[in-house]
Amino acid sequence: MVGTMKKRIAVLASGRGSNFQAVIEAIRQGKIPATCSALITDNPRAYAIERANQAGIPVTVIDYSSCPSREAYEYALLKAMQQVNPDLFVLAGYMRILGTSIVRSFSGKIINIHPALLPSFPGLHAQRNALDYGVKVSGCTVHFVDESLDCGPIILQRCVSVRDGDDEDLLAERILNHEHECLPEAIRLFCEGKLVMNGRTVRII
Ligand code: GRF
């Protein structure tokens, strides 16, 4: 895009990394004016690592299970995040809660994708909880990360119909297809400076 400086983003992911892959593809296709400078993961077996290797993106592994305490893990993570210091951190299937010191250090610079229409069904098993509740519509939410779980200002949401006969896997897959569009779109808006936060409300300009 003419006149838009490329931003630097970094991704935190814990597992399969299909959202990470969607971001890699969108950058490759020139849809996001950014480079991805790092993958940070808490899980040495995450398939996201393979995706980063294939895309030539540096990987930092901070193995949660080999850290002596949650505090030690958080400290190592904070140091790794400070070292990368991108314009934006993207939580793409990062399955841990970020500690307060990290959230405060990067206030307004961390976004997360969640597989439900927040504020409904925060936390783990969002798709299962939506089904158990009997909702007819669910979806996904991209939001800024604040100090409460899945609570920060909402950037984008997409609706997905719940169909008769859906089980957790079917619904999760249908939502995931939308996540793969929604997350790159939110990153693009951020990188193009089009998100204006006013209290809880994010305006897209
Ligand atoms: C996605 O549904 C995401 O919303 C949730 O965990 C899942 C991660 O999938 N937080 P992937 O690792 O991006 O494939």
pLDDT in tens, 166-176: 999 999 999 99
SS3 letters across 60-105: EECCHHHCCCHHHHHHHHHHHHHHHCCCEEEECCCCCCCCHHHHHH
Nearest ligand 1 atom to alpha carbon 22: 13
Ligand 1 atom 8, closest CA: 93
Query: Is residue 176 in contact with ligand 1, taking CB distance under 6 Å?
Result: yes
From the CA of 176, give the closest atom in ligand 1: 2
Q: Which atom of ligand 1 is nearest to the CA of 172?
A: 2
Residue 141 Cα distances to 58, 122, 163, 202, angstroms: 27, 10, 20, 13
Task: Quick: pLDDT tens for 10-60.
Answer: 999 999 999 999 999 999 999 999 999 999 999 999 999 999 999 999 999
pLDDT for the residue 4: 61
- Residue with the smallest CA separation from ligand 1 atom 6 is 93
The pTM of this model reads: 0.96
Interatomic CA distance for residues 82 and 84, integer angstroms: 5
Q: Across the chain, how many H-helices and E-strands are there?
A: 6, 9
Residue 5 banded pLDDT, cuts 50, 70, 90:
confident
pLDDT in tens, 74-121: 999 999 999 999 999 999 999 999 999 999 999 999 999 999 999 999
Contact 117, 179 (CB under 8 A): no
Does residue 110 have its Cβ closer than 6 Å to ligand 1?
no
* d(CA 165, ligand 1 centre) in Å: 22
Residue nearest to atom 7 of ligand 1 (CA): 93
Q: Please tell me the predicted confidence (pLDDT) of residue 18.
A: 98
